[in-house]
Chain A
Amino acid sequence: MPFKRYVEIGRVALVNYGKDYGRLVVIVDVVDQNRALVDAPDVVRGQMNFKRLSLTDIKIDIPRLPKKKTLIAAMEAADVKNKWENSSWGRKLIVQKRRAALNDFDRFKVMLARIKRGGAIQQELAKLKKQNAS
């Protein structure tokens, strides 16, 4: 299997460890074999180890070491935020966050909803079984 996600200038990556966990950043330059210079719209540019980054499929078109304005414009043009939130990876993360932020009453509501959904599925299943049997 050839590689599809490369470390390159403009690659969007997710921080998977450390203080900025969960943040989307753009690789703006490569320091050396282990580190990249990384930038995001609301953060000062800095270096990060590749071990802390998970590369995504999204790549934007930027020159090497763009100014903050250029970076933000390029991210808007490539619509990184929407692409991320609509991707299955992004959606999963949003769901995880949502679940982690539930309070007890929310969890109660979720339980009721699951029972209800389960009941509906069982009804349909029973109907189909009866059809098959007959």
Chain B
Amino acid sequence: MRSSVQPPALHGEGRERGKRKKRRRFLGLPDFAMVAFRFHQYQVVGRALPSPTDEHPRIYRMKLWTTNEVRAKSKFWYFLRKLKKVKKSNGQVLAINEIFERKPTKIKNYGIWLRYQSRTGYHNMYKEFRDTALNGAVEHMYNEMASRHRVRYHCIQIIKTATIPAKLCKRESTKQFHNSKIKFPLVFKKVRPPSRKLKTTYKASRPNLFM
């Protein structure tokens, strides 16, 4: 079973809930922000179909990260099948809502607990990311798992996500940014044409890389 160590502060929840929640909170995302998140967070609520033996089956809710709603429902049944004796054929999805970031202009430290399948077996992992939005952190996580561990999307299961207050962050790479007087130079200036249209194969002179 999943480890049930709860970090003290946060919005992350376990994967099952007995109550049905239907809250729609849509926030317009700012222009600057990566509006095109690859992964969207969905809340899927479902239960087994009512039957003569069980008039009011228990309702379960899951939060998932997928690219679209259709996949979210599919993933919901995938997980629910593994946890309870219910399948898509004898169950129903009661609600599926997209969850948007509450404060997309605030930088947060996200901790993500995941379970992934490597070439030799399953492992648990905890990763920390700094980002303004949870969807961004999740996307970052998938990219990082693919690059560092060669693990693809379908081999990763997100156990839990949480916003971690700065004191409780464990990784040095996130803790180094917890500095109110942060200051560092950009060492290497990548010379880029201002749009891809102006890209040329040959240049007249060598670039100056000093910032």
Binding site for B on A (CB under 8 A): 1, 3, 5-9, 16-17, 19-21, 29-32, 37-38, 43-48, 50-51, 54-55, 64-65
Q: Is B83 an interface residue (CB 8 A)?
A: no
Is A17 within 8 A of B174, CB to CB?
no
> How distant is A22 from chain B, measured CB to nearest CB, in Å?
8
Binding site for A on B (CB under 8 A): 30-34, 104-107, 129-132, 173-174, 177, 180-187, 189-190, 192, 194-195, 210-211
> How distant is A99 from chain B, measured CB to nearest CB, in Å?
16
Cα(A48)–Cα(B31), bound, Å: 11
Cα(A1)–Cα(B211), bound, Å: 11
Inter-chain CB contacts under 8 Å: number: 83
Contacts of B183 in A (CB 8 A): 6-8
Is A43 within 8 A of B32, CB to CB?
yes
Q: A5-B185, A32-B130 are in contact. Are A45 and B31 (CB under 8 A)?
A: no
Is A31 within 8 A of B107, CB to CB?
yes
Contacts of B132 in A (CB 8 A): 31, 37, 46-47
B interface, over-half SS: loop
Is A3 within 8 A of B211, CB to CB?
yes
> How distant is A107 from chain B, measured CB to nearest CB, in Å?
21
> How distant is B206 from chain A, measured CB to nearest CB, in Å?
18
Is A16 within 8 A of B194, CB to CB?
yes
Contacts of A38 in B (CB 8 A): 32
Contacts of A46 in B (CB 8 A): 30-33, 104-105, 132
> How distant is A125 from chain B, measured CB to nearest CB, in Å?
30
Is B32 within 8 A of A20, CB to CB?
yes
Closest to A22 in B: B194
Is B185 within 8 A of A31, CB to CB?
no
Contacts of A9 in B (CB 8 A): 180-182
Is A8 within 8 A of B182, CB to CB?
yes
> How distant is B183 from chain A, measured CB to nearest CB, in Å?
4
Is A45 within 8 A of B182, CB to CB?
no
> How distant is B139 from chain A, measured CB to nearest CB, in Å?
13
Closest to A25 in B: B32
Is A7 within 8 A of B30, CB to CB?
no
Contacts of A16 in B (CB 8 A): 192, 194
Is A64 within 8 A of B33, CB to CB?
no
Is B194 within 8 A of A29, CB to CB?
no
Q: A16-B192, A46-B33, A51-B190 are in contact. Are A3 and B185 (CB under 8 A)?
A: yes
Cα(A98)–Cα(B126), bound, Å: 53
Cα(A17)–Cα(B193), bound, Å: 8
Contacts of B194 in A (CB 8 A): 16-17, 21
